[in-house]
Amino acid sequence: MRSRDLAQIALFAAIMVVLGFFPLIQLPGAFAPFTSQTLGVILAGAILGAKRGFLAILLFDVMVFAGLPVLPGGRGGLSVIMGPTGGFVIAYPIGAVVIGLLTERVYRHYNLPLALVINFLGGAIVLYAIGIPWMAAAAHISLAKAFTTSVAFLPGDIVKTVIGSLAAVAVRKAYPMIPARA
């Protein structure tokens, strides 16, 4: 791995930290807060690709596990991971990998409609698939209740998907960092 790769990984981990500075929005009755950090997962996967995107978000997760206050509201540590939101944080690197792999696969044809589908799949569906069952188990609620609670976040996730997709398409056109797959 080159120093340029390491710098990009560190930069996107830092972007995740900065996105944590946005105010924590707790919806009434929700077990998980609305955060901006899903946008960082989308950007890391779509711009850096699977490997570097994964490593950037994994580096961020290591900071969370170590107790650094990098989540919205100054949260961090194992208590957050063991709580209702832990599954979403654990799913972040997996979401980045899914986005990165799919983006690399369609590299030559990458455009806004493809980016929207790919980024929603990795940035919402993958996170929900891991985060919702974790929330149900940690909060001692039914899977149906966890799912119903999470639906309130869907409009925000759609907005983050659109913003991330527009940004990723623009950045990749101006500075294509992801090499085409053979």
* 182 within domain boundaries: no
* 181 within domain boundaries: no
Q: Is 51 left (phi over 0), alpha (psi -120 to 50) or beta?
A: alpha
The predicted model scores a pTM of: 0.91
pLDDT at 136: 97
- Number of domains forming the structure of the chain: 1
Give, for all 182 residues of the chain, the pLDDT tens digit: 899 999 999 999 999 999 998 866 666 665 566 789 999 999 999 999 999 999 999 999 999 999 999 998 899 999 999 999 999 999 999 999 999 999 999 988 999 999 999 999 998 999 999 999 999 999 999 999 999 988 888 988 999 999 999 999 999 888 876 665 53
* 106 within domain boundaries: yes
* 160 within domain boundaries: yes
* 122 within domain boundaries: yes
pLDDT at 24: 64
Position 170, amino acid:
A
pLDDT at 182: 34
Nearest to 52 by CA among 106, 118, 1, 122: 1
Q: Which range marks the domain in which residue 105 is found?
A: 3-23+33-174
pLDDT at 31: 58
* 179 within domain boundaries: no
pLDDT at 122: 92
pLDDT at 105: 93
* 137 within domain boundaries: yes
Rounded CA-CA distance 90/97 in Å is: 12
CATH classification at residue 69: 1.10.1760.20
pLDDT at 152: 86
Tally of CA atoms within 13 A in the half-sphere of 44 that contains its CB = 38
- Three-class secondary structure of residue 75 per DSSP: strand
* 112 within domain boundaries: yes
